[in-house]
Structure 1
Amino acid sequence: MTLQPLIFYVSLFILSALVLKAIKNLRRLPPRPWALPIVGHLHLLGPSLHHSFHKLSTRYGPLMSIRIGSVLGVVTSSPDVTKELLKTNDVTFAARNSSAAIECLTYNSSFAFAPNGPYWQFMKKLTTVELLGSRTLLQFLPIRTNELHELIRFLFEKSKSGGSVNITDELLKFTNNIISQMMLSIRCSGKGGQAEECRTLAREVTEIFGEFNISDIIWIFKIFDIQGFRRRFKDIHRRFDSLLENIITNREKLRKEKKETSLLLSVQDFLTAGTDTSSMTVEWALAELINHPMVLQKAQQEIDLVVGRNRLVQESDVPHLPYIQTIIKESFRLHPPIPLLNRRALEDCKIGNYIIPKGTLLFVNLWSMGRDPKIWKNPLEFQLERFLSQSNSEIDVRGLHYQLLPFGTGRRGCPGLSLAMQELPTTLASMI
């Protein structure tokens, strides 16, 4: 009986200490809105997270914290803060967030989402040297050229017959054809069969990776499938398995017959990468050119001067087409294909007077930075002059200028940057 008061006071002391520590940690987080129990700030977020984060940042500043269900996150829309997070603390934020869908569909061994360790380092070296190195990209040049000529030929035939074209679908087929031939030696432009299934799965995987699963972000719902996510990604997983099994079997058969070799038999991540993002960039650039006929006219004049009118644009022409490259830059600024960069803290990190705890998700709002009048003059206007001026002419997209990061930066930057910056200007100039 005499121990009961002691136990009570010790328990009260421990509980008080924990509460005080929690309050202290909250005070050391960046500014944040008031949160609701369980859901956190979910009630403040719309279907387009980058829009919601942009609206909140106008009130809470360029670095704010947010709670998405049970998950703590921080959001930045400042180039200076982004540089401190992704350059100064590159190792701390060298991880990406995973989810139940990602773990299932990538067999929990994805290069894109793998932790920063020996496997990820090996796969990055394999990717940058064997797959996306300059020598390999040069070997795949005939594939890119042939697919581009097929696209232009299709558009030309439609133009002669007066037919309409769904540019979104055609650009998606074009980019998918390039990636699938580099990886799997199949084209995704056909209707029916393996090609169409490959294209459909690539889009479904991209979509489900970008959606919120309430079971991932609110721990009490982890065992439930409230939105039907688990059913959806298991169905995609089954179909993906079947597709890959057929492809692998065919490749192994051809290898035995010594008719074909395959460098990328085991690299499945890239089937869904670089398709929507590349096609989306060209599509936005074309839309802006249609709405800005003077820019389109100047682009045509540059192409006529450098390339002439007797052949299509080639990748070797791109260094001599600075105006076309500027159109790509401005499209990236105003319409980044991936509006939010996502990272996860591997350890506690001090930024200014704030502490970002281990496990916190980091969101870099590229879309918001592209519309910030403190960074860009007349940010909502499509103006190529901003990159043609002497002060901004050196800004590029390779991860060194933190106000423009369409491919990310640091060790988790997009490994497909070189491929994209050969493919995008050539495609846009050819369509012009």
Structure 2
Amino acid sequence: MATTLFSLTSPPFFTSSNHLIFTALVFLLTCLIFILTQKTKSRKLNLPPGPPGWPVVGNLFQIARSGKPFFEYLDEVTAKYGSIVTLKLGTTTMIILADAKLVHEAMIQKGAISSTRPRENPTRNIFSAGKTTVNAAVYGPVWKSLRRNMVQNMLSSSRIKEFRGVRENAMDKMINKLKTEAEKNDGVVWVVKNARFAVFCILVAMCFGLEMDEENLERVDQVMKNVLIAVDPRIDDYLPILSPFFSKQRKRVLEVRKEQIEFLVPYIEQRKRAIENPGSDQTATTFSYLDTLFDMKVEGRKSTPSDGELVSLISEFLNGGTDTTATAVEWGMAQLIANPDIQKRLYNEIKSTVGDKKVDEKDVEKMPYLQAVVKEQMRRNPPTFFALTHAVTEPITLAGYDIPTNANVEVYIPAIGNDPTLWSNPEKFDPERFISGGEDADITGVKEVRMVPFGVGRRICPGLNMATVHIHLMLARMVQEFEWSPYPPGKDVDFSWKMEFTVVMKNPLRAIIKPRV
């Protein structure tokens, strides 16, 4: 979900395990490289301000020495230097946009120029089959073909409705798992684990068109997790000269890619057989994302996607929508537990709207308070702090500063959602602001940027509509079925966070649930 909901690991955050490695070696190399690479530049760029860094390594050591998570360090930098700043991370120039108007100018007004992707370490491209996925492709004909296929053939409103039965089945499974877990643990349940299971069930069915038992679902899930771990940022991404010291990690990347292809290709072939021989596979559903990919025509290419490209495209579909959605649900439930009056009001709206029947996604349109709760949750606790990295196809200027083509352009999502010039009392979780408080926001950012949980502009999350359906429905079913309270009883919810594949709760949320009478 941006984050985008199809956003995977966003640009770098510096971890403590990275910064202690090769410190002394890098210092020596820095001195040597600085001496050898001094050249006279014909024109000095007027980059946005930022903390001065060391030659070659830039701000990497400063981030490491701060001892703080990257985004806490970034908050200090933007507070000092302003809402458009530059960080130098080795060979990477990162320009961060933390202002709503600048984001609108860059991503909407100048969107045709600001919608490509930066160059990446070639070993990273292996999982996108050489940048032939929707998220990774550079802005151009290939990207347009891939995105058009995904949006029109899989993520349109009419197509999403076709999977209503899949979602209902997954919701029932989630509720039953919560009940079983609560019965075994004196009412205590883990939130994100159960939410993740439900959304993964939905996406697997949509992706493969095949019903899987829980054991196979877990196997597919583990393969997807291995991919996310393999693409986690490393220090040699920013200092390529250190790459000889990471040969084991690069070898592991190749192993994970091989395992990914060997595991998923049989499912691809199974689906292909089911299409060629209707009725031969009793587990097959009527339609899947794979169906749209087999004969997909990509502009400028004569051949249809290879097995490797199919694996990358379906992995993108699964990974992009799983952790972000589950994380959003966990943060949403945390807020409802911390604010019992809001939870009670939401339950009353659900009860008055649907009575004793199970809440259905059609009912969501009749629940303005539920919609306000979800929107406020996405403003207050976005699942990712950076939208997927942008780059410009030609140099532009923003706020009087140069934005070169070799820079990573980042949209800093929390700075916008918590901006006191845009929001009254932004630290407060207050869905009422969207009901009678006179505040609103177009989450697509087309008219005005005030919150961008799904990214913004031409590269906005293609799964926006699907993600909002899932989040609304999951929260509604969970609140309809159970009364939620903190665990341990009487203890405040801990809203501290940490970076994993998404921005997760530092201490995963546990709660006490009580079936509604």
State the AA in 2 paired with 1:348: P
Aligned partner of 2:511 in structure 1 is none
Residues 1:264 and 2:289 aligned together: yes
Match of 1:238 among 249, 258, 274: 258
CA contact (8 A) 1:168 1:283 kept: yes
User: What code does the residue aligned with 2:462 have?
Assistant: P
CA separation of 1:105/1:188 partners in 2, compared to 1, >3 Å: closer, same or farther? farther
1:183-332 maps to which residues of 2 (within 5 A)? Answer: 183-186=207-210, 190-191=214-215, 194-209=216-231, 211-225=232-246, 228-259=248-279, 260=284, 263-265=288-290, 266=310, 267-268=313-314, 269-308=316-355, 310-332=356-378
Paired with 1:160 and 1:354, the residues of 2 have a C-alpha distance of 60
Q: Tell me if 1:177 matches 2:201.
A: yes
Shift in CA distance, 106/213, structure 1 to aligned 2, threshold 3 Å: same
> Is 1:112 matched up with 2:120?
no
Ranges of 4+ aligned residues in structure 1 off by more than 4 Å: 186-189, 260-263
* TM-score normalised by structure 2 residue count: 0.74
> 1:165 corresponds to which residue?
189
- Report the CA distance shift for 1:133/1:74 in structure 2 as closer, same or farther (over 3 A): same
Unaligned ranges ≥5, structure 2: 1-37, 291-309, 480-517
Other-structure match for 1:29: 47
**Aligned AA (2:264):** L
Q: Which has the higher helix share?
A: 1
Counterparts of 1:61-80 in structure 2, within 5 Å, are 61-80=82-101
SS of aligned partner of 2:233: coil
1:175–1:319 distance in 2 versus 1, CA, 3 Å: same
Structure 1 gap segments, 5+ residues each: 1-16
Which letter maps to 1:331?
Q
For residues 343 and 218 of structure 2, the distance between their equivalents in structure 1, rounded to whole angstroms, comes to: 34
Could you say which residue in structure 2 is the equivalent of 1:7? none
**Is the 1:96–1:343 Cα contact (8 Å) retained in structure 2?**
yes
Deviations 1:389-423 (Å, cap 9, x if unpaired)? 45313x13233342211111221011101111212
The equivalent position to 1:421 in structure 2, one of 457, 464, 468, is 468
Report % sequence identity.
Answer: 25
Change (3 A) 1:21 1:418: same
Q: Which residue of the partner structure matches residue 370 of structure 1?
A: 417
Question: What is residue 452 of structure 2 aligned with on the other side?
Answer: 405
Worse overlay, 150-159 or 275-284: 150-159
Give the counterpart letter for 1:129 in structure 2: Q
CA RMSD of aligned residues (A): 2.2
**Which string of whole-angstrom CA distances, capped at 9 and with x for unpartnered residues, describes residues 23-78 of structure 1?**
x31xx111111111221111233674333222210001000111111111111110
How far apart, in 1, do the equivalents of 2:79 and 2:212 lie?
Answer: 43
Aligned twin of 1:359: 406
Aligned to 1:3: none
Larger Rg: 1
The one-letter code of the counterpart of 2:189 is: V
Indicate the SS of the match to 1:355. strand
Aligned 8 A contact 1:65 1:72 in 2:
yes
Q: Offset at 1:126? A: 0.7
Conserved? CA contact 2:49–2:81, under 8 Å? yes
Code of the residue aligned with 1:71 in structure 2: it is: T
- Report the alpha carbon displacement of residue 305 of structure 1 after superposing the two structures with TM: 1.1
Determine the structure 2 residue equivalent to 1:334.
380
- Matched AA of 2:379: R
Deviation readout 1:140-199 (Å, 9 max, x if unpaired): 1110111111111222344455354322211111111111110113457723xx322211
Shift of 1:278: 0.5
Query: Which amino acid is the alignment partner of residue 375 of structure 1?
Result: L
Which stretch shifts more, 90-99 or 166-175? 90-99
Separation (CA, whole Å) in 2 of partners of 1:264 and 1:206: 21
Kept in 1: contact 2:208–2:288 (CA 8 A): no
Instruction: Spell out the pairing of 1:139-154 with structure 2 (5 A cutoff).
Output: 139-154=162-177
Which has the higher mean CA deviation after the structures are superposed, 53-62 or 370-379? 370-379
Task: Please tell me whether the aligned partners of residues 329 and 475 of structure 2 are also in contact (alpha carbons under 8 angstroms).
Answer: yes
| Kept in 1: contact 2:230–2:256 (CA 8 A) | no
> 1: distance between equivalents of 2:170 and 2:206?
12
CA distance in 2, matches of 1:49, 1:375: 24
Give the alignment partner of residue 128 of structure 1, picking from 132, 140, 151.
151
| Mapped partners of 2:206, 2:123: distance in 1 | 26
The match for 1:103 is: 125
> CA separation in 2, counterparts of 1:90 and 1:188?
41
- Is the CA contact (8 Å cut-off) linking 1:62 and 1:78 kept in structure 2? yes
Contact 1:64 1:76 (C-alpha < 8 Å) held by counterparts: yes
- SS, match of residue 302 in structure 1: helix
> Judging changes above 3 Å, is the alpha-carbon distance between structure 1 residues 85 and 262 closer, same or farther for their aligned structure 2 residues?
same
Name the aligned partner's letter for residue 248 of structure 1: I
Query: Which residue of structure 2 lines up, in the alignment, with residue 6 of structure 1?
Result: none
Comparing 263-272 with 288-297, which one deviates more in the overlay?
263-272
| Aligned counterparts of 1:20 and 1:120: Cα–Cα separation in 2 | 34
Relative to structure 2, which stretch is displaced further, 118-127 or 46-55?
Answer: 46-55
Amino acid aligned to 2:414? W
- Partner of residue 85 from structure 1, selected from 83, 106, 113: 106
* Counterpart code for 1:426: L
Give the letter for the 1:354 counterpart.
Answer: Y
Higher deviation after alignment, 162-171 or 298-307: 162-171
SS of equivalent to 1:150:
helix
The corresponding residue for 1:430 is 477
Which is bigger in relative contact order (C-alpha 8 A, separation at least 6)?
A: 2
